[in-house]
Amino acid sequence: MKDPRYKTANREAMIGIGLAAFNFIWWFSFAYGLGGRPVREYKYIFGMPAWFFYSCIVGFFVVTGLLIFCVKLFFKDIPFDDQTDEGGGRR
């Protein structure tokens, strides 16, 4: 009999991979989308180039918020101990 914790662990791993992919796409899009121009055309926010501000500063807060949201909504607390009863069988 297959342990049901594997299904939960696989689902949570896929969510983690999806969030990591989103983080990379966000960073790459802003860093190379806005940063692919000559330096003289850069716009600055708080003294930083806009591409850096959006890709690294704003991206950090967006991804952190998404992580908190996903952990609270989709992740479950599962026990790591062996799920056997006293008779040696699985529960």
Per cent of the chain over pLDDT 70 is 89
| 4 is a domain residue | no
| Rounded average pLDDT over 63-81 | 90
Residue 82 amino acid letter: D
Cβ contact 49:35 at 8 Å = yes
| 72 is a domain residue | yes
Q: Into how many domains does the chain fold?
A: 1
| 7 is a domain residue | no
* CA 24 and chain centroid, separation: 10
Band of pLDDT at residue 1, cut at 50, 70 and 90: low
Burial of 29 (0-12, 13-18, 19+ CB in 10 A): middle
Q: Which residue has the tokens 């006293």?
A: 86
Residue 68: which domain range?
A: 28-76
CB atoms within 10 A of CB 59: 20
64 versus 40: the higher-pLDDT residue is 64
